[in-house]
Amino acid sequence: MEFLDILFNQIEPYARILQLALIILITFIVFSILLRIIKSRLLYKIKDKKQRSNVTVFLDILKYFYAFILVIIIIIYYYGNLGDLGFFAGLLTVALGWALQKPITGIVAWIILVTRRPIHIGDRIIISGITGDVSNITLTHIFLDEVGGTIDGEELSRRNIMIPNSIIFEQHIINYNERDEYILDEISVSITYESDLQFAEKLIIRSFNKAMKTHWEKFLKRIEKEPHIRLKFQASGVDVVLRYNTIATRRNQISTDIRREIWKQINQTSKVAFAYPHTQVVMDKENKILDK
């Protein structure tokens, strides 16, 4: 008996720690199982990018809520009652308020991001002068898959950028996808004043329609597919500006296909010629300069 008493006295200081560790382990296992079930059910029912974003944010909220409840359980377990917990929370709030102003601002920004939903995971945005596709929104940071950056154009650079949530209080945000996946884009083609303008417009629209055949399969039916033409006079020619709806994340690919087709069509006709800055000298039969 004496041996058991000695053994019990040695183990007793660690008993509460072991008991708490067991409680945490059990709750973690139960929470993980529930989270997997919820995630699989929700992902099975999603139909688009925004719904996937909502599921991701909802699961993040569950994780943070679980961590918060776990901290409260630990504190109550050690302090014994809610009165002590309130006193402890008051002191902790004052200390953290001074030491963690930026992170707290970031958490407030996160609450705004997950409640008002100005941006979703998968949206292409410009924030603080950086263009990127939102890959994740955490408690403290927005993660972007950078667009451009190392290259000239709007294609993924394969770099990931972390931006503090608090920046939404300081910078404006441009969202390409707030309404849908489509934006208005334009291609400018400079032709000479000697070109047949009416024929050039028809040729450019025909080139557009031909290049867009494979892309239109991915367009929603309600999106306007007809382009429109705008003209600008320049010193060396006329800019024929083609404006059309395009998929935001495939803007460069689509515009390249259209330009390639326009180039091909114009080079096959004598009625239209590309304009470019140059000097032309016209001479008469006596080799006198008439125009320059």
d(CA 185, CA 212) in angstroms, rounded, equals 13
Residue with tokens 């309130």: 86
Give per-residue pLDDT as tens, 71-80. Answer: 777 766 666 5
**Rounded average pLDDT per 10-residue block, the chain, 292 residues:** 51 63 77 79 67 71 75 67 56 55 77 85 90 89 90 86 90 87 94 94 96 88 91 93 93 94 94 84 58 50
Strands (E) across 177-292 are located at: 182-191, 228-233, 238-247, 282-283, 289-291
251-266 vs 197-212: helix crossing angle, rounded to 10 = 130
Task: Please compute, for residue 80, the number of CA atoms within 13 A of its CA located in the half-sphere on the CB side.
Answer: 0
CA–CA separation, 117 and 111 (whole Å): 9
Cα(192)–Cα(243) distance, rounded to whole angstroms? 20
Q: Which residues contact 25 (CB under 8 A, 6 or more apart)?
A: none
Report if pTM > 0.75.
no
DSSP structure class, residue 248: G
Residue 38 CB burial class (10 angstroms; 0-12, 13-18, ≥19): middle
Q: What is the pLDDT of residue 109?
A: 87
